[in-house]
Amino acid sequence: MSSKEASPEDIVRPMQSTSRWYYAVFAAAGIVALIWLALWGYQLEEGLIVTNLADWGSGGGVTWGVYIGAFIWWVGIAHGGIILSAAVRLFGMKRYQPIARIAELLTIGALSMAGLYIVVHTGRPDRLVTSVIPAYPWSVQTSPLAWDITVITLYFVLTATYLALTLRYDVHRLRDRMPDHLGPVYSIITMGYSEREDEIIERMVWWLALGIIVLAPLLLHGGVIPWLFALLPSMPGWQGAIQGPQFLSIALTSAIAGVIIISLLLRRAYDWDHILTDDMVRGLTLWLGFFGLMFIWLQLQQVITGVYAPAIDAGTVASAKVVNPVYIFAIVSMVLVLAYIFAQAVRESVFTPARSLVAAFLVLAATLSEKVLFVVEGLEYPTFSLYHAIPGHYFPSIVELGSVAGTMALCTLFFLAILKVVPVIELHAVEDHDDHGETEVEA
Amino acid sequence: MMLTLLTQALALASVPLASGFDPWEFAPPGVWLIFGIVGLPVYVAFSGWFLGRPRNIKSSVLGSVTFLALVCSLWGGLFALTMLIRLFFF
Amino acid sequence: MSTEDTTESTDEPAHPYETEDSFHPMGEEWEGRMREELEETDFDADLGMQMARDAQRLVAGEITEAEFYDEYHDDVEEEFETDARPVFDDIEDAEFEDVDDGSMLKNLADIDLEGDDASRRDVMKKMGAGAAFLGYGAYATVNQGGEDVPQDISGIRPAGPEEREHRWGMVIDLERCDGCLACVTGCVDENGTSTGANWMYVFTYDNEATEQENFLVRPCQHCSNAPCAKVCPVRARHARAEDGIVLTDYETCIGCRYCQVACPYGVNYFQWGEPDVPMDELTHLDKTPEEVRALDEEERNRQLTEANDHVYDDRGKWVDSRPPQGVMGKCTFCPTRQDGHSGEEKFATTACMDACDESGMSAIHFGDMDDPESRPNQYLRRRSENANEKENIKFDADLDFAVNAEEPIDVDDGHYPLAFVERRAGTDPWLAIDSGSAVVSSDQSFDPSENFEESRIDDIGGIPSEETDVLYTDEETDIDLRIVYDDDEFESEAESEDFNVALRLVGAGADDDIADRDVTLDVEDNLVDDQLVAETTLTVDGSTITRPDDIYVLYLLVEETVEGETARRVADTRRVYLSGDRPAVDTPDLPYSDSSLTGALDSVPPVLFTGDEQTVAATIQYPEFEQTHETRLVLLEDGSEDVVAAQEYTFDEQDTTNTPWGGKQSSFKLLENLGTEPNITYLGNEPAPDDEQREGPVAYGQLDSEKWDEWMNIIDERKEHLDYGAAANGRNREGAD
């Protein structure tokens, strides 16, 4: 525990000064992003032939790959926001309040990257809006993709509304310490603000959190997204009601990992050890372990049912999965992370923030690999396996791999930008008069 | 729409319980899912704003307008991006 | 308003369309022709004319649709037994004004009477029973709770059986397919698909139960409950209500490829890069999709037909031929043909079916599955009729018996009965399939055919025969000969050729001519279908033959000049029994019961020489459920059996030279349990879940589509081509991917 007291000064500091590191990271992220944008431009020009995707069946390839896998992965990471906000507002875990807004911002950034992946992965992205909107009243009746678009829009907007509402309190009070040139932005955020509304707004965001905690985990990443796959009758690798819970476990795991990474990086950049405390990180690490265990347990369910006495088509894909090096990497990584987390639960001294950071990165690598493999293997081993070109083959191309780096760079740039505009830690978390302070011991 | 649902509901009431049930017959699955299930958390949140306590109409309207403005910004931004893509590449 | 009203002639024109004597804008003559046209149909022309007149009024806004509906409701019901015209006021979501195509109400008044174009089909389409009439054509049904869907958004299921016009589907006889890939090439020619995008795909696969070669012919199944249409987020993939064809709207598709993911059969091919065939090589009407849809339906179909368009369908949607870059495509069941744009004769055909017919296999039968008299349904019926007649027969098998191969025949020279027998298992009794006779000789010199080459003559008719031909020596016998030459064997340039034909009797030490004559073959007179045919008669005087009664071989010898050499050559042989008296000799009774199998001894050499290996050919028809039969050739002498040749034949050894026919007809649909309701019925062996495609006679990589350019190689390793370009297929195309 640091002896330093958290204060509003801490949270406006990013907006007041810029270090060399900021510029360096900005430049690096900017270059990576630009390289990827150039690659994407190449893809827009030549078509999706620049990926290593191909038709499944007689074509010998798979038609969905890294783009869709990464899309799912980013939506998973986005769940960090609502998990933390729900923890704070619905379950009263004030311990995590300092990290809550950062997590919500991660939601916005991650969902934006997910949405960008949809634009990247379609053959005619220029038609995305002009074709989707007119057809919506009919497509929503039957198309899981239309449902996906609906729920992602809802999650994004509800979260953004949540942010807009909670920022009013902070911006109003800290305005004099925030950059002048952004005045118009702050005016919009605090339009019609009066201090009487604080209590009402608190209640309103409580309702929002309640809505989102049902919507996002249960109906998005544990709902319409797995249903994109599980509702199809002909890809045994995707079958089963277990996909809902399975995807949810991935979301929760990736989400906490993302929050751990962001909080540790920001903490380091802005000397926020006394706000984003070790204690908080330990708590997050334990939750990472819990969700990771759920992930492994659900994988166990799938492996057992897939190899014991499966139907021919289900057995083929399950046995292919189990020996696939990518799958083994994902599982082994998760097991290593769980081992660390178990160890530090038993003996406190095992925990260090650095180790948790490594664990979090490993988790993200594992979940991305597992998700891409899930998408790809489903298409490699369909029920109709008569074609000699089945199983298909796929290894991502430079353009596709570039998109992973590119979206991570863009998300970084997003955070770098937002740090300059609004406080990323809630004022409530650092105010002296907030009586749900750090002293309370929470789960 | 409501009329259709009502008449279908009446039809449903007259069907003996033991017979087969085809969910597509009454409304396609997407209608049930989006406007029934997925919509619920959203309906609940907005209901909480306008009907829960403590409440303030002005704030509730502010929240609702924010929500709508954000939907439009999101899709407007997406539209702009796709139009740019169309301009440069198609 | 009753139907007895006749057209008015004295009222002042009530709206701009009404001219002096006729309500039709084109005047009385047109109205008269319309009436003629209506009278040709089976329906009430008066009613039609009256409704047409009021349709004009409706279009002009004089009456409301509700009024129009009510007026004729009873009459329409009476005439067509149903009135399924939608009452537009009920449809809340539809924006009637936005439907470019306008209502069929207008079309009723605008029937195209231009002679040839007003096909009965078009007229019936408008006049026909049910919902095709009056305004329904502007809407495509969704078949979800009866909801109507406007034309710019598409439905996902065909209309119900009462409302739709057709349900296009196929019956594909896999037992007739031989993997020639004519259908694949034909499809590429028709649609300009890119290399490797095999909308029609044919391949061989292994079936573990038999070593038989199986083919699967795999176009799109055009499911009536298509998962691809359900999942499309923009309703680009849809099913046409009027006929169930599942199509992709190339203008709307965003290229998300979810249809390809959802399809269980793998029939979708995405346009990953630039299409191999540029748009301007496809024949199409030179108008944008909006312009095409702005035309009214008559005009649209007329222009599309005139332009021999191959990209628009009758709704004016861009759905046919290959998709542009970034968009999904698949087999389309050739909608431009079904809509009449390729001419009346191509209606109800597809490019693949035409190609298969042309190549002589006729394995593909496309047609309206709702129509019991359509080509596919007739074919199904015919096949199952055959099956009922010949219940237990599945295959023709060819057997070759090797006589004297292991053990030489060990009997005295002479004439013996020969039996072709079979039994199912080791202890069953032998049963006779066929019988014949054989002359056995130990004297090699007996074979006069050594001295003669085969003549060019193809055929000899003549001595009537049962098992043994009998030549009586107590009379004169006329033997008719029918001499047939293939035209290309006829070497000389002469207008005619003379040669001498002779009959030679050979056997038991005898070897002499018994009759001969000269024959003149006149080229001009005798040419029939590329063959030279001449008929003549040889007269055998039995009294000149002094041989004992016995079996002999009769040779027809021809003295002819081939390549400058003149020689006597064997044209034909026949075994004869020479008899001085009657009755004829019967073949002794065989000591076997008859087999239930059908079969025959096809060719027995005229003489079986002991010690010399010879082949006796036979055929047998096998029931599918019999696994193994032992078959034998047996020479019988005085009631004892001497086996001259034996062969075991098992069902597993059948190869494609066997022609399967009749039998328990196996028909199936692919993945029927998934509930997609595919519209292709297959005849043949159903693939098992673990069957696999293997290299077969299908020649991917070696075929080209000639139509587009000479490099359009038909391959099936599309991923390699996408990854590495044309070089991967050994082809070098300038400027391509």
Residue scoring higher pLDDT (C68 or C656): C68
Closest by alpha carbon to C614, among C635, C595, C599? C635
pLDDT of C353 above 90: yes
pLDDT of C187 above 50: yes
User: Distance (Å) from the C-alpha of residue A74 to the closest C-alpha of chain C?
Assistant: 18
* Mean pLDDT across C100-118: 39
Task: For A267-325, write each residue's pLDDT tens digit.
Answer: 999 999 999 999 999 999 999 999 999 999 999 999 999 999 999 999 999 999 999 99
* Mean pLDDT across B9-33: 67
Average pLDDT over chain B reads 84
Could you tell me the two tokens for C100? 């470019």
Q: Which amino acid is at A193?
A: Y
pLDDT at residue number C489: 57
* Mean pLDDT across A45-58: 93
Q: Which of A154, A204, A212, A213 to mutate to test the interface with B (most CBs of B within 10 A)?
A: A204
Using a CB–CB cutoff of 8 Å, tell me whether A201 touches chain B. Answer: yes
pLDDT at residue number B28: 84
CB of C522 closer than 8 Å to CB of C495: yes
Q: Per DSSP, what are the bridge partners of residue C552? A: C576
From A20-24, C182-186, C324-328, C436-440, the region with the lowest mean pLDDT: C436-440
Using a CB–CB cutoff of 8 Å, tell me whether C254 touches chain B. Answer: no
pLDDT of C499 above 60: yes
Task: For A135-163, write each residue's pLDDT tens digit.
Answer: 999 999 999 999 999 999 999 999 999 99
Residue scoring higher pLDDT (C466 or A420): A420
pLDDT at residue number C61: 54
Q: Which of A44, A107, A139, A157 to mutate to test the interface with B (most CBs of B within 10 A)?
A: A157
% of chain A with per-residue pLDDT over 90? 87
Among candidates A197, A212, A223 on the partner chain, residue whose Cβ is nearest the Cβ of B56: A197
Long-range contacts of residues C181-184, Cβ cutoff 8 Å, at least 24 apart:
C181/C698, C181/C699, C181/C700, C181/C703, C181/C714, C182/C355, C182/C356, C182/C358, C182/C359, C182/C361, C183/C217, C183/C351, C183/C352, C183/C353, C183/C355, C183/C356, C183/C364, C184/C352, C184/C703, C184/C714
pLDDT of C513 above 70: yes
Residue scoring higher pLDDT (A40 or C577): A40
pLDDT at residue number C2: 40
**Distance (Å, whole) CA C42 – CA A120:** 57
pLDDT at residue number C138: 31
* Mean pLDDT across C622-649: 65
pLDDT at residue number C569: 73
Which of A1-10, C46-55, C289-298 holds the top average pLDDT? C289-298
Q: What share of residues in chain A are helix, strand, coil (percent, to 5)?
A: 75, 0, 25
pLDDT of C299 above 90: yes
Residues of chain C with C-beta less than 8 angstroms from the C-beta of A144: 231, 258
Q: Are B8 and C144 within 8 A, CB to CB?
A: no
Q: How many CB atoms lie within 10 A of CB A145?
A: 22
User: Distance (Å) from the C-alpha of residue A27 to the closest C-alpha of chain B?
Assistant: 24
* Mean pLDDT across C665-673: 88
Residue scoring higher pLDDT (C568 or C491): C568
From C355-369, C402-416, C458-472, the region with the lowest mean pLDDT: C458-472
Cα R_g (chain C), whole angstroms: 36
Q: Are B30 and A146 within 8 A, CB to CB?
A: yes
Average pLDDT over chain C reads 71
pLDDT of C224 above 50: yes
Task: For C272-281, write each residue's pLDDT tens digit.
Answer: 999 988 888 8
User: Distance (Å) from the C-alpha of residue A32 to the closest C-alpha of chain C?
Assistant: 25
* Mean pLDDT across C83-110: 39
pLDDT at residue number C383: 82
Residue scoring higher pLDDT (C263 or C206): C263
* Mean pLDDT across C19-25: 43
Residues of chain C with C-beta less than 8 angstroms from the C-beta of A127: 234, 252-254
Q: Per DSSP, what are the bridge partners of residue C569? A: C453, C558
Task: For C571-588, write each residue's pLDDT tens digit.
Answer: 777 767 676 655 434 555
Average pLDDT over chain A reads 93
Given CA atoms A96, A99, A100, A103 in this order, what sign does their dihedral have? negative
Could you tell me the two tokens for C350? 């597809």
Confidence band (pLDDT; 50, 70, 90) for C664? low
Q: Which A-chain residues 115-134 have CB contacts (< 8 A) with chain B?
A: 115, 119, 124-130, 133
Smallest CA–CA distance from B26 into chain C, residue:
C145
Q: Are A149 and C233 within 8 A, CB to CB?
A: yes
Show the DSSP H helices in C81-143 as ranges. 104-109, 120-127
Tell me the CA distances in angstroms from C342 to C288, C306, C312, one per residue in order: 20, 9, 11
pLDDT at residue number C9: 40
Q: How many CB atoms lie within 10 A of CB C468?
A: 18
Confidence band (pLDDT; 50, 70, 90) for C67? low
**Distance (Å, whole) CA C632 – CA C595:** 13
Eight-class DSSP state of C158: P
3-state secondary structure of C601: strand
CB of A224 closer than 8 Å to CB of A147: yes
Q: Whose structure tokens read 């180790």?
A: A355
Q: Whose structure tokens read 């609702």?
A: B64
Show the DSSP H helices in C219-284 as ranges. 227-231, 258-262
Q: Which residues make Cβ contacts (< 8 Å) with residue C324, sequence separation at least 6?
A: C250, C271, C275, C279
Q: How many CB atoms lie within 10 A of CB C161?
A: 8
Closest by alpha carbon to C246, among C261, C228, C232, C233? C228
Smallest CA–CA distance from C141 into chain A, residue:
A138
Residues of chain C with C-beta less than 8 angstroms from the C-beta of A47: 271-274, 325-326
**Distance (Å, whole) CA A201 – CA A7:** 23
pLDDT at residue number B82: 96
Q: Per DSSP, what are the bridge partners of residue C205? A: C214, C693
pLDDT at residue number A290: 96
Q: Which A-chain residues 153-182 have CB contacts (< 8 A) with chain C?
A: none
Task: For A319-355, write each residue's pLDDT tens digit.
Answer: 999 999 999 999 999 999 999 999 999 999 999 999 9
pLDDT at residue number A75: 96
pLDDT of C115 above 50: no
* Mean pLDDT across C386-405: 65
State the complex-level ipTM. Answer: 0.93
* Mean pLDDT across C489-509: 67
Task: For C691-731, write each residue's pLDDT tens digit.
Answer: 888 776 667 777 777 777 655 677 777 777 776 654 444 44
Q: C125 — phi, psi (to 5°)?
A: -60, -40
From A113-117, A228-232, C113-117, the region with the lowest mean pLDDT: C113-117
Could you tell me the two tokens for A348? 């406190």
pLDDT at residue number C729: 45
pLDDT at residue number C65: 55
pLDDT of C188 above 80: yes
User: Distance (Å) from the C-alpha of residue C332 to the closest C-alpha of chain B?
Assistant: 25
From A4-8, A384-388, C394-398, C676-680, the region with the lowest mean pLDDT: C394-398
Given CA atoms B23, B28, B29, B33 in this order, what sign does their dihedral have? negative
DSSP one-letter string for C29-58:
HHHHHHHHHHHHSSS-HHHHHHHHHHHHHH
Q: Are A135 and C235 within 8 A, CB to CB?
A: yes
Task: For A177-205, write each residue's pLDDT tens digit.
Answer: 999 999 999 999 999 999 999 999 999 99
Residues of chain A with C-beta less than 8 angstroms from the C-beta of C716: 58, 389
Q: Which amino acid is at B53?
A: R
Q: How many CB atoms lie within 10 A of CB A194?
A: 12
pLDDT of C444 above 80: no
pLDDT at residue number C493: 60
Among candidates A147, A199, A206 on the partner chain, residue whose Cβ is nearest the Cβ of B30: A147
% of chain C with per-residue pLDDT over 70? 56
pLDDT at residue number C5: 40
Cis peptide leading into residue C689 (ω within 30°): no
User: Distance (Å) from the C-alpha of residue C144 to the closest C-alpha of chain B?
Assistant: 7
CB of A63 closer than 8 Å to CB of A55: yes
